[in-house]
Amino acid sequence: MTASPTAAAPNVAPKKSFLQSLEVDLRLLGMIGAFLAVCLVFNMLTEGRFLTPRNIFNLTIQTVSVAIMATGMVFVIVTRHIDLSVGALLATCTAVMAMAQTQWLPNMLGLELGHPMIPWVTIVIGLITGAVIGGAQGWLIGYQAIPAFIVTLGGLLIWRNVGWWMTDGATIGPLDQTFILFGGITGTLGAVWSWVVGIVATVLSLAAMWSARRTKIGHEFPVKPLWAEGVMMGFVAVAILGFVAILNAYTVPQRVIARDPSLFGCEVAEGCVAAYGLPYSVLVLIVVAIVMTVIALRTRLGRYIFATGGNPDAAELSGINTRLLTVKIFAMVGVLSALAGVVASARLGYHTNDIGTLDELRVIAAAVIGGTALSGGIGTIYGAIIGALIMQSLQSGMAMVGVDAPYQNIVVGAVLVLAVWIDIQYRKRTGVK
């Protein structure tokens, strides 16, 4: 009895396409493609002014505060909740920090304005304020079973006006000079240290990718071809070092250097060239992104968050304390809102009562555009950051073209609805729930 040709044929792995070999997340690829398309369109409309080093520098520091909060919003939406209070919470935290460094600390502790401890004590006070308020809202949601929509909608109204009450509706400032460095305009690493950070980040990223590959091989998991791994490593290296190169290409204006050439390593202003480099605020965002990604992928808390979002009833039956988990998530969002408040108020140099207005909508939109499913269980930190970057690119580009603010909001709203529709269609076609 002879075996059939089909049975005798060896097991041959099906041939993969280039993208399949790279194992690239199609959603990530789509988001990057959308971002590049937005940049190219606005670059043409602005006759090449959109993709200049100066505008890219401004775009990055304008994105940071929303992106920081969006990383926390991912966890909120993944667990099938919503937080409408992040913008108002940011305003209250900035009011607390502004009052602390201009009035409370000097009056109560006798610390003079400009004392080196003021900015750091101020930031700690702000983070604690955010954690307490966020945790309290999480307690109402988790333990008192009040819907998150109602609690945070009430929080939007309460905390926006608490911030106004604390400052009597006045603009508070100027803020401490060290504190202002976190805004990213004057607080930058410069060219040399930016390259150092960029090279270190590249080496660590490539080492992490190679270590992940070796771990998969050690556990006999399938891995992508070596050439595909090399392509992905090359892409990561080019992305990191290219970003640093662009920021280093934005040089400090001569009028700024002329004020104090010694700050830029020069004796005289004439002929002195200095680059801004990486802003401190961007470094803060990078640290937040790494920490939140580690929490999402490498910790029990992260596993509980995504398990709860996938099936809350099953998660609770398996022993997960979903009520306490809710408190932790909203406390985390409160801390991130306070940290975003540090960046936002430092960039302005003052606390203003309209700070963070509509940020809650921008944050939610960034998370959703970045691929976080409103049905829960799915979301990525890097996706939320890219979503925030797309949102800010749209707003900045329309402002440069001369589009009025009401029309900008119309476009942003339309993009949000389109992103959700695309996500729904993607899930239908791929069978992902």
CATH number, position 172: 1.10.3470
- The reply to whether 180 and 86 lie within a common domain is yes
- The reply to whether 242 and 208 lie within a common domain is yes
Domain enclosing residue 380, as ranges? 51-187+279-401
- The reply to whether 173 and 222 lie within a common domain is no
Evaluate whether residue 38 is within a structural domain: no
- The reply to whether 387 and 238 lie within a common domain is no
Q: What is the pTM of this model?
A: 0.93
Evaluate whether residue 268 is within a structural domain: yes
Evaluate whether residue 10 is within a structural domain: no
Evaluate whether residue 153 is within a structural domain: yes
Evaluate whether residue 2 is within a structural domain: no
- The reply to whether 291 and 154 lie within a common domain is yes
- The reply to whether 239 and 385 lie within a common domain is no
- The reply to whether 105 and 195 lie within a common domain is no
Domain boundary among 224, 250, 278: 278
| pLDDT attached to residue 230 | 93
The count of structural domains within the chain is 2
- The reply to whether 286 and 182 lie within a common domain is yes
Each residue's pLDDT tens digit in the chain (433 positions)? 444 444 444 444 456 667 677 777 777 888 888 899 999 999 999 999 999 999 999 999 999 999 999 999 999 999 999 999 999 999 999 999 999 999 998 888 777 777 889 999 999 999 999 999 999 999 999 999 999 999 999 999 999 999 999 999 999 989 999 999 999 888 999 999 999 999 999 999 999 999 999 998 998 888 888 998 999 999 999 999 999 999 999 998 888 888 888 777 788 888 888 899 999 999 999 999 999 999 999 999 999 999 999 999 999 999 999 999 999 999 999 999 999 999 999 999 999 999 999 899 999 999 999 989 888 899 999 999 999 999 999 999 999 999 998 888 888 888 888 888 877 787 777 766 5
- The reply to whether 248 and 101 lie within a common domain is no
Domain boundary among 210, 244, 278: 278
Domain boundary among 278, 307, 339: 278
- The reply to whether 83 and 100 lie within a common domain is yes
- The reply to whether 97 and 212 lie within a common domain is no
* Long-range CB contacts for residues 297-302, cutoff 8 Å, separation at least 24: 301/325, 301/328
Evaluate whether residue 31 is within a structural domain: no
Evaluate whether residue 414 is within a structural domain: no
| pLDDT attached to residue 412 | 83
| pLDDT attached to residue 15 | 60
- The reply to whether 179 and 212 lie within a common domain is no
Evaluate whether residue 43 is within a structural domain: no
